[in-house]
Amino acid sequence: MMVESASETIRSAPSGQNGVGSLSGQTDGSSGGATGTTASGTGRDMTTGADSNGEMSPAELLHFQQQQALQVARQFLLQQASGLSSPGNNDSKQSASAVQVPVSVAMMSPQMLTPQQMQQILSPPQLAGVVVGIALQEYYKKQQEQLHLQLLTQQQAGKPQPKEALGNKQLAFQQQLLQMQQLQQQHLLNLQRQGLVSLQPNQASGPLQTLPQAAVCPTDLPQLWKGEGAPGQPAEDSVKQEGLDLTGTAATATSFAAPPKVSPPLSHHTLPNGQPTVLTSRRDSSSHEETPGSHPLYGHGECKWPGCETLCEDLGQFIKHLNTEHALDDRSTAQCRVQMQVVQQLEIQLAKESERLQAMMAHLHMRPSEPKPFSQPLNLVPGSSSFSKVTVSAADSFPDGLVHPPTSAAAPVTPLRPPGLGSASLHGGGPARRRSSDKFCSPISSELAQNHEFYKNADVRPPFTYASLIRQAILETPDRQLTLNEIYNWFTRMFAYFRRNTATWKNAVRHNLSLHKCFVRVENVKGAVWTVDEREYQKRRPPKMTGSPTLVKNMISGLSYGALNASYQAALAESSFPLLNSPGMLNPGSASSLLPLSHDDVGAPVEPLPSNGSSSPPRLSPPQYSHQVQVKEEPAEAEEDRQPGPPLGTPNPSASGPPEDRDLEEELPGEELS
DNA sequence: ATTAGAGTAAACAGCC
DNA sequence: TGGCTGTTTACTCTAA
């Protein structure tokens, strides 16, 4: 809610791209999640697919399938990241925003992402999902390699072999290949069912075609198989013929696997648990039918049988469909078996991921039930330093066991050590007044909200600047105004640290109030109150950045999440995914408003005087600034001057507020700003 | 080495 | 007169 300040300083945070000071000797910590998503990947061709340009060699075919498997994972990743991009509405944007935030992610092959990057990008569940996808991708890859070996063996031995034998083997191979594809489809459908992968249903065609990019297009299979059998294999005709069958529905495609004696998948009619597939298939189906009014395979008016999306009016019709289309036959049996494999694979993967999660949490000394620390590093974007000396003591005290915050608040002082940060960031003795290039900084409000109790009870200096704390105190109030004494009280109430050394920090508070133009003293009915000029606050520390990716990264890290998405997506889309970014896609106006601290301000000292705003970017220098600055000197006039509100780019809501509040209205824009 | 932001200390003035 | 509030200056430290 609160505007994310530009200058909150965070202690012991991963230090963005700058690492930490040379004195501390810390290594550059891996940047936070946002920074980790900069579009650094070259990206593979997203349009990889079965070009229907004719024949493919077996090697090409396998490579092609690997590419498709890769795409599956990538698309999955894309979806996941897009969901992450909008914490508020993950569901609603799953399919629509697939090309937005995750652009940078999408540009990177999942294999190009390090596990650390993955973790930074995705939340644990999402990460697990991605890992599952990638693992399955690996699984498919292995299977394909196996097939490849098989194929090579056949080819080598093929010449002396009789035609029939070779044909059978090829047929078996093709069936195995088909099963592989089915497996992929099953998994994709499975993911789709779980909402992990959003695929456009293609109602006109069979289920196979619902995976236009992720799986081999059925229409390409004949070509592929033709190419596969191209090396003078006599079975070419049959292959081609059967491949053509695949262009039909899934039923016809899979019915191709019907010949039992040449169908390796079907030759093993025993399930992993020893049950005959046939029996389970039938019994599962019938047992499901016993459920009145619903059926596990029926939902949203369509058949949920893997690979089947037949629309059914009602349950009765579905039952009919189930009995006719998915009766006990080889196809259903094979599909069931595939489904079991999918489930098994997922279970295995789940177990692995769970184990990994446990190990990770154990390594990080976290309780499994506390997800909060995961988010801490994101909040702990390094800001410009502050409270340096105390920061040192606070940060160092924890490793020494001197001060142990509540578990829920352990993160802010002992944040998760970023992989690249190591213990150096926490080692005792190192100077902790850290400042990063992240002039935009983390949300103090969320940080405080999460660790309110900790700061309240622990005599630890908060890792924020006086300015940010003062601002926070003011913004927390409904009126966005506080007297000096109220600010004092807020400090002492919120932070145990400020219950001592009152003279020092109170002096500092006063000093900051007077020093920073962002704090505006307003003569109120009840006396003088202090308000925050949010724009001045944001303007206070212009980033020393240029238009480099670092700029984007820093912008991202400093903006609040909501605004971040738009600008981030736009920026990333613009920089790394031009195809998705039509000229009108990126709104310069919004971008500028969202990123008020563009490098244009760098080097330009805060300019309160120019009334025409010519000496500074117009959007940043509304007359309000100068007025507000003048408020300090002439509060009464300032009130009058600000009353009309900022003419441009300065949202001035609540103009209808109480007279004494009209001076404080400028804080609201700040929220919108961030 | 330079620069800038931040913290600290202190002097000073005005007001109650 | 003393305390509070507010302003200003100087200095130090840290990080860019």
Q: Which two tokens stand for residue A537?
A: 């606050």
Residue nearest to nucleotide B6 (CA to C1'): A386
Task: Give the mean pLDDT of A432-453.
Answer: 57
Q: How far is CA A546 from the centre of its chain?
A: 26
Helices (H), A159-276: 163-193, 221-228, 236-245, 250-255, 264-267
Token look-up 């003293």 returns A521
| pLDDT tops 50 at residue A442 | no
- Let me know if A626 is exposed, middle or buried by CB neighbors in 10 A (0-12, 13-18, 19+): buried
What is the predicted pLDDT for the residue at A537? 81
A437 CA, B3 C1': Å apart: 14
CA of A511 to C1' of B11 (A): 13
| CA of residue A551 to C1' of nucleotide B1, angstroms | 26
- Taking C1' of C4 and every protein CA, the nearest residue is A485
Q: How far is the CA of A235 from the C1' of B8 (A)?
A: 88
Of A261-270, A318-327, A541-550, give the range with the top mean pLDDT: A318-327
Q: What is the pLDDT of residue A316?
A: 83
Q: Give the pLDDT score at A144.
A: 52
Q: What local confidence, expressed as pLDDT, does residue A189 receive?
A: 46
Please choose, from the candidates A389, A366, A171, A360, the residue with its C-alpha nearest in 3D space to the C-alpha of residue A267.
Answer: A171
- Residue A112 — very low, low, confident or very high, per pLDDT cuts 50/70/90? very low
pLDDT band at A17 (very low <50, low <70, confident <90, very high): very low
CA atoms within 13 A on the CB side of A242: 21
Topology (CATH) of A444-540: Arc Repressor Mutant, subunit A (1.10.10)
pTM > 0.85: no
Closest nucleotide to A467: CA versus each C1':
B6
Phi/psi at A132 (5° precision): -60, -45
pLDDT digits (tens, 9 = 90+) for A332-386: 777 777 777 767 777 777 777 777 777 766 666 555 433 333 333 333 333 333 3
Q: What's the CA A628/C1' B7 distance, rounded, in angstroms? A: 25
As a whole number of angstroms, the distance between CA A290 and CA A474 comes to 63
Q: Which nucleotides of C are covered by protein (CB under 7 A)?
A: 4-10, 13-16
pLDDT at A113 over 80: no
pLDDT value, residue A358:
72
Our measurement of CA A20 to C1' C15, in angstroms, reads 8
Q: Which nucleotide is nearest to A513 (CA to C1')?
A: C6
Residue A532 has pLDDT above 80, yes or no: yes
Name the average pLDDT for chain A.
Answer: 48
pLDDT at A356: 74
| Rounded CA–C1' distance between A632 and B14, in angstroms | 15
What does the pLDDT look like over A652-672, one tens digit per residue?
A: 333 333 333 333 333 333 333
Nucleotide nearest to A430 (CA to C1'): C14
Confidence check: pLDDT of A34 > 50: no
Segment of A164-168, A263-267, A581-585 carrying the highest mean pLDDT: A164-168
Protein residue closest via CA to C1' of B7: A387
pLDDT of residue A99: 30
Q: Which residue has 């003569």 as its token pair? A: A523
For tokens 């369509």, the residue is A302
Q: Identify nearest nucleotide to residue A437 by CA to C1′ distance.
A: C16
Residues with CB under 7 A from strand B: A 7, 9, 384-390, 433, 464-467, 501, 503-505, 507-508, 510-512, 540-542
Structure tokens at A343: 């489930």
- At A487, the pLDDT band (50, 70, 90 cuts) reads very high
By C1' distance from the Cα of A487, the closest nucleotide is: C5
A121-125, A173-177, A227-231: which is most confident: A173-177
Comparing A615 with A367, the larger pLDDT belongs to A367
pLDDT of residue A179: 53
Predicted confidence at residue A330, as pLDDT, reads 77
**Section A151-174 average pLDDT:** 45
What pLDDT is stored for residue A505 in this prediction? 92
Footprint of strand C on the protein (CB under 7 A): A 15, 18-24, 382, 385, 388, 431-437, 483-485, 488, 506-507, 510-511, 513-515, 521, 527-528, 530, 544, 632
Q: Is A485 exposed, middle or buried (0-12, 13-18, 19+ CB in 10 A)?
A: exposed
pLDDT digits (tens, 9 = 90+) for A138-148: 444 555 555 45
- How distant is the alpha carbon of residue A379 from its chain centre? 15
CA A169, A172, A177, A178 torsion: positive or negative? positive
Q: How far is the CA of A443 from the C1' of B12 (A)?
A: 37
Cα–Cα distance between A307 and A303 in angstroms, integer?
9
Q: Stated in angstroms, how far is A22 CA from B1 C1'?
A: 15
Listed residue (A77, A139, A84, A136) closest to A109, CA to CA: A77
DSSP per-residue string spanning A587-636: -HHHHHHH----GGGTTS------SS-TTS-GGG--HHHHHHHHHHH-HH
Most confident of A19-33, A144-158, A303-317: A303-317
pLDDT of A587 above 50 = no
Q: Which has more pLDDT, A587 or A136?
A: A136
C1' (C3) to CA (A455) span, angstroms: 29
Output the distance from A505 CA to B11 C1' rounded to whole Å.
17
Amino acid identity of residue A150, one-letter, is Q
As ranges, strand B nucleotides with an atom below 7 A of a protein CB are 4-11
**Tens-place pLDDT, residues A548-577:** 333 333 333 333 333 333 333 333 333 332
Q: What is the pLDDT of residues A537-551, one digit of tens each?
A: 877 654 333 333 333
Who has greater pLDDT, A459 or A617? A459
CA of A480 to C1' of C16 (A): 33
Share of chain A above pLDDT 70, in %: 23
Q: Say yes or no to pLDDT of A510 above 80.
A: yes
The letter for the amino acid at A221 is L
Structural domain boundaries in chain A: 124-196, 298-327, 444-540
Q: Quickly state the pLDDT bin for A488 (edges 50, 70, 90).
A: very high
Could you give the CA distance from residue A484 to residue A612 in angstroms, rounded to a whole number? 33
Q: What percent of chain A has pLDDT over 90?
A: 3
| Residue closest to sugar C1' of B9 by CA | A504
Q: How far, in Å, is the CA of A507 from the C1' of nucleotide C10?
A: 15
In total, chain A counts a number of residues equal to: 674
CA A514 to C1' B12, in angstroms, rounded, equals 14
Looking at residue A313, its pLDDT comes to 80
Q: Is the pLDDT of residue A452 over 50?
A: yes
pLDDT value at residue A9: 34
Question: Of A356, A437, A358, which is closest to residue A29 (Cα–Cα)?
Answer: A437
**pLDDT on residue A361:** 64
CB A536 within 8 Å of CB A517:
yes
CA of A659 to C1' of B5 (A): 36
Using the C1' atom of nucleotide C15, identify the protein residue whose alpha carbon is closest: A435
